[in-house]
Amino acid sequence: MKLGFASKRFRQFTFKHRIISIFFLIVLIPFVCLGLASLFTINSILVNKVGTSLQSNLKQDLLILDNTLNNLNHVSQQLAFGGGTNRILEQLQEETSRFEIIRLRNEMKYELNVVTFSNPNVGLTLYYNQDTGEYDFENFMVRESF
């Protein structure tokens, strides 16, 4: 019934108005279809791009974290099992002679430089005394608020 009403209404238009309305529909329908297709395509591309970008960033962060942990493991093994720094620290705590203290401090700095240069990605290395809050043998300047 509604279709009959639309067809009656369409016949009441003049020939010129019918041609214009048909031309308008012929032009408008492809543009609307093309716009909707483009919208859905661009939306799916962006969603996939964001998803793959997030996964890529997470993989990169995982690799960086893994590399950092491997470097820290290597440094801790050098400091703990190398024996050089531990032995020098023990001697430094027991030593009373100023000359020997200076020599041992220089030797300790040399040992820590070897560790730092063999692991350049580690960054700041220092010995920190938790009881007194003091630090020593740092390879970079440390802020006062540390």
pLDDT digit of tens for each residue in the chain (146 aa)? Answer: 566 666 666 667 788 888 888 899 899 999 999 999 999 999 988 888 888 999 999 999 999 999 888 888 888 887 777 667 778 888 888 888 899 888 988 888 888 888 878 777 777 777 777 888 777 777 777 777 76
For position 129, what pLDDT does the model report? 77
From CA 22, how far away is CA 28, in angstroms rounded? 10
For position 95, what pLDDT does the model report? 84
From CA 87, how far away is CA 75, in angstroms rounded? 16
For position 30, what pLDDT does the model report? 92
For position 83, what pLDDT does the model report? 66
For position 126, what pLDDT does the model report? 78
From CA 105, how far away is CA 111, in angstroms rounded? 10
For position 137, what pLDDT does the model report? 76
Beta bridge partners of 136: 127
Q: Where are the domains of the chain?
A: 1-68, 82-146
For position 39, what pLDDT does the model report? 93
Distances from the Cα of 53 to the Cα of 58, 68, 73, 77, angstroms: 9, 22, 30, 36
